[in-house]
Chains A and B, each alone.
Chain A
Amino acid sequence: MFKIRKILLLLPVFLLLLIVLIIPPQKLIHLKSNFSIIFRGPLRIAYQVYLYAKNSKKIFSLYSEFQRLSEENQSLLFEVNQLKEMELENLRLYKIVDFKSVLEYKFVAAKVIGKEPSNWLDSLIIDRGITDGIYLNQPVMNFAGVIGKIIEVDTETAKVLLISDINSRVVVKIQRTRQEGMLEGLGRGLCRLKYLPPDAELKTGDVVVTTGMGGVYPKGLVVGKVEGVRIKQGESYKSCIIRPEVPLSDIEEVLCLKSDSGQ
């Protein structure tokens, strides 16, 4: 009798389990969004404290960093001038061949206010929502490259599934060789590029860019660089480890790409 009473204590857990198993996760997202309001304010403050504490560690290396950046700035200015010329030339050529331009995208800038609390998934919480024009499956990036896409959105916040999440899939290609493959998350800030042809020529440091297929990410956005090539026995394709161009554990601000068509 005593044991049965103790087992009955698990009844709410089994009820929840039943709910979780029966109701599709997509239908419960709205419920999640409604509750997220209770964490929004304090989470925003706590994340700012986290960033402040994290950045304060770097203060000792600031001078040498400043010197390095000054030198880099000089060479980049030279590069920018060259690129401006090329951009104008590109635009002229686009007009000639009547190409659909990538420049039709606009950005919504957002601040990161929280990170995935568990160790098993990779996601971020940002401080923009439906009221700012954020929508599901919207691509998220910063100036360095692709970060992920929006998977949950409420009125004032949204969740971004990082490209390093195990559930993330992006069709990409190696910029140098133009060979296509599927980029999937590997967790812990890394990705794996799969389904490359067995004869694919890969080099460490090769840049990986989006192909535009799949309808989420526009073409030509930098995703990351090849870090290590793996050939598994018995597999008919080549795969390699990709380190995302954006250090996914240190993101402070993101840009949500907005197409002119709205969604």
Chain B
Amino acid sequence: MLVIGLGVLGIGVAVALILAAFNQNLMYFYSPSEVARGEAPGNRAFRLGGMVVKGSVQRDPQDLTVRFAVTDFAQQRTVTYKGILPDLFREGQGIVAIGQLDPGGVFVASEVLAKHDENYMPPEVAQALKDGKAQAGMKP
């Protein structure tokens, strides 16, 4: 009984230590602030996450190239991407882009994923919240 208890305890501690060691690698994406502080890898691909800045999306009329900025409300980073964006991609939406920084500090994405938040509500309620009129049983 004692052996099993100690075994479980030991493995629990081992898992905790492994998780602590891998903490950085489990981070799915870096924020623009972390990139600005130079914490993101410079020479290989990484993921950049943040909100698409309102009014920043520019589409190239010739091809599928899109240029936009992502923010964590402290820092911004310009992203370029050539390809088809997910349905949820829009200004003000959280996204995760996979790619690399070019020498000019622009993030060149090879893939863009949309991240939705934990809020669910009917469109009318969302509109009402936007207009600041009603709370209608929802916390914003």
Same complex origin of A and B: no
Identify the A interface with B (CB < 8 A).
Answer: none
